[in-house]
């Protein structure tokens, strides 16, 4: 077919505050994705041999360049994703700068050979250790809500371990990924080690079927399930971060002023478009009404507007599709008897995608019953449902009554009590007296359980995902034949039974007799 007859797919970078198209991109074809992976494979063979000090030098230059251009990067993120520029600085640029520091500081010790002790007395003449080697080419498919920090942290971890990376950013926010590539190019990263392929879902599908060695995907549960199925066919190693429905538990002894401010920030930061957002807030009945009053009062004070306005605190939804989901969740909650205390409507006077921060009450959540969608599906918008509970056990049951398990928080003046409750909540991370900021702790793992995904990013756990572990074992007495080699027989059988008695019998007399039997195996003849 002539090239002119082939329909060229395109994606559009759009300002969500105005709906204005900022830039259009041609989608990378499956052939172009395959070529990018091929180039990455060739480049990775050289990159893995680069000394660690040289990799660190690249990271230091990257960090310096990012810090120098921090305002430019934050402004671009704000324009394309809609969030206030100060949030772009704190939740995107700061997170990446700190992640770079963590890898510069920690990665070398992580890659040192790790001694493996041998507990079995029969194996004491061996010395073993672990080596960690790069996976090869890591494919990354990243989301639109944190278009810089999420892919950057994964790219940094992959590169420092000696991998090459092919990144497919969200079609809604490709510019942040291009800035990331530009920063690395300026830092002196060799060509083809880090590549960006822009496109739609077909481009992402092409990356998952290309000859990559690892895939990291952040996105929706349905897409994550499809990726997991495809990866299983070829035994491709994957990490999936698929969102959450994070609960906040406010106990009767919590500091109400602090906890209510945290709930408002945790639910509405980035206009609620955060996988770690507070999407369900359970409050002890004794303090419920006062807590609600504080949340409503603070929510009404929030300033909604364009991210470029330094006075704005809440930006727009990313697009109409996301806005429709929020509206449908609120409408369904109202049909289930909920009440809107503030918000609950679009703000068309501000632009096409704005929605007022919303507080809902009387949203009933009885474990196992038919409940409103806003308590079971990821809303991903500025809506905070507040539900009372009576006992600690009830609060834990409500928190765990979800298909998701990304993070949660517990609020109490009694920290040991909070930590004890945290241990009973089914989530990858539980914070006591804080929300969301766990993502910014570079040393801590990030990931969930249940439908929130598989594997971990960030911290040591994230680095483990970027390597293959090889065990090497060396015999210290290579000229001595092993006791357990061929030359079996009834006498050897009894000697080995004695050896097991020596090691594991709970009776000391049996151990002594076992030792006597086993000793003969050291001198037996007829070994091959």
Tokens of 122: 């029969």
3-state helix vs strand vs coil in the chain, percent to 5: 45, 20, 35
Spatial contact of 386 and 250, defined as CB atoms under 8 Å apart? no
Q: Which residue in the block uniquely carries the two structure tokens 């590539």?
A: 181
Instruction: Return the SS3 of 470.
Output: strand
**Across the beta sheet with 407-411, what order do the strands follow?**
339-342, 358-361, 383-389, 278-284, 246-250, 407-411, 429-432
Catalytic one among 275, 281, 295, 438? 275
Q: Which of 91, 86, 81 is nearest to 17 (CA)?
A: 81
Please name the helix (run of DSSP H) or strand (run of DSSP E) that holds residue 430, with its range, or none.
Answer: strand 429-432
Instruction: Return the SS3 of 339.
Output: strand
**Across the beta sheet with 453-454, what order do the strands follow?**
194-196, 164-168, 137-141, 214-218, 237-241, 453-454
Spatial contact of 427 and 248, defined as CB atoms under 8 Å apart? no
Instruction: Return the SS3 of 29.
Output: coil
Query: Is position 438 annotated as part of the catalytic site?
Result: no
- As a whole number of angstroms, the distance between CA 182 and CA 189 comes to 10
Catalytic one among 92, 241, 279, 392? 241
Q: Which of 285, 212, 295 is nearest to 38 (CA)?
A: 212
Spatial contact of 469 and 130, defined as CB atoms under 8 Å apart? yes
- As a whole number of angstroms, the distance between CA 373 and CA 363 comes to 10
- The four Cα atoms 33, 38, 43, 46 give a dihedral, to 10 degrees, of 150
| Backbone φ, ψ for residue 285 (5° rounding) | -60, -30
Structure letter (DSSP) for residue 488: -
Instruction: Return the SS3 of 449.
Output: strand
Query: Is position 241 annotated as part of the catalytic site?
Result: yes
Q: Which residues contact 40 (CB under 8 A, 6 or more apart)?
A: 137, 164, 165, 166, 192, 193, 195
Please name the helix (run of DSSP H) or strand (run of DSSP E) that holds residue 256, with its range, or none.
Answer: helix 256-268
Q: Which residues contact 41 (CB under 8 A, 6 or more apart)?
A: 136, 137, 164, 211
Instruction: Return the SS3 of 42.
Output: helix
- As a whole number of angstroms, the distance between CA 180 and CA 60 comes to 14
Taking residue 340's Cβ as centre, other Cβ atoms within 10 Å add up to: 17
Q: Annotated catalytic sites, by residue?
A: 241, 275
């Amino acid at each position: 077919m002539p090239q002119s007859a082939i329909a060229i797919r395109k994606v559009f970078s759009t300002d969500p505050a105005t709906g204005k198209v900022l830039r259009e991109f041609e989608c990378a074809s499956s052939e172009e994705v395959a070529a990018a992976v091929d180039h990455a494979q060739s480049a990775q063979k050289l990159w893995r041999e680069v000394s660690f000090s040289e990799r660190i030098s690249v990271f230091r230059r990257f960090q310096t360049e990012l810090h120098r251009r921090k305002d430019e990067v934050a402004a671009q993120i704000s324009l394309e994703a809609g969030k206030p520029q100060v949030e772009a600085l704190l939740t995107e640029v700061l997170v990446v700068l700190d992640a770079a520091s963590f890898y510069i500081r920690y990665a070398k010790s992580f890659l040192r050979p790790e001694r493996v002790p041998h507990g079995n007395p029969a194996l004491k003449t061996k010395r073993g250790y672990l080596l960690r080697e790069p996976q090869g080419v890591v494919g990354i498919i990243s989301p639109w809500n944190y278009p810089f920090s999420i892919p950057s942290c994964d790219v940094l971890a992959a590169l420092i371990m000696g991998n090459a990376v092919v990144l497919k950013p969200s079609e809604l926010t490709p510019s942040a990924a291009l800035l990331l590539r530009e920063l690395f190019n300026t830092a002196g990263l060799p060509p083809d080690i880090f590549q960006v392929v822009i496109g739609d879902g077909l481009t992402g599908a092409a990356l998952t079927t290309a000859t990559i060695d690892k895939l990291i995907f952040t996105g929706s549960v349905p897409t994550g399930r499809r990726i997991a199925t495809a990866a299983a066919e070829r035994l491709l190693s994957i990490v999936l971060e698929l969102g959450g429905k994070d609960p906040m538990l406010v106990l009767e002894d919590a500091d109400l002023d602090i906890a209510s401010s945290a709930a408002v920030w945790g639910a509405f930061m980035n206009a609620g478009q955060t996988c770690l957002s507070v999407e369900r807030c359970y409050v002890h009945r004794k303090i419920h009404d006062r807590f609600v009053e504080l949340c409503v009062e603070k929510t009404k004070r929030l300033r909604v507007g364009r991210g470029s306005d330094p006075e704005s605190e809440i930006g727009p939804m990313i697009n109409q599709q996301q806005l429709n989901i929020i509206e449908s969740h609120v409408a369904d909650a109202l049909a289930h008897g909920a009440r809107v205390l503030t918000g609950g409507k679009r703000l068309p006077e501000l632009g096409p995608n704005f929605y007022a921060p919303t507080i809902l009450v009387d949203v009933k959540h009885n474990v196992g019953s038919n409940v409103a969608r806003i308590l079971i599906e990821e809303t991903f918008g500025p809506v905070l449902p507040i539900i009372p509970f009576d006992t600690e056990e009830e609060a834990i049951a409500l928190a765990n009554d979800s298909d998701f398990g990304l993070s949660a928080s517990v609020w109490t003046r009694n920290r040991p009590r909070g930590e004890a409750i945290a241990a009973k909540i089914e989530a990858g991370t539980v914070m006591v007296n804080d929300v969301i900021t766990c993502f910014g702790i570079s040393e801590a793992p990030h990931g969930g359980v249940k439908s929130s995904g598989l594997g971990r990013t960030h911290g040591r756990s994230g680095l483990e995902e970027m390597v293959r572990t090889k065990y090497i074992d060396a015999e210290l007495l290579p000229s001595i034949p092993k006791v357990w080699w061929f030359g079996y027989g009834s006498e050897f059988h009894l000697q080995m039974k004695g050896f097991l008695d020596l090691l594991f019998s709970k009776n000391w007399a049996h151990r002594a007799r076992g030792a006597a039997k086993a000793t003969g195996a050291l001198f037996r003849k007829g070994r091959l």
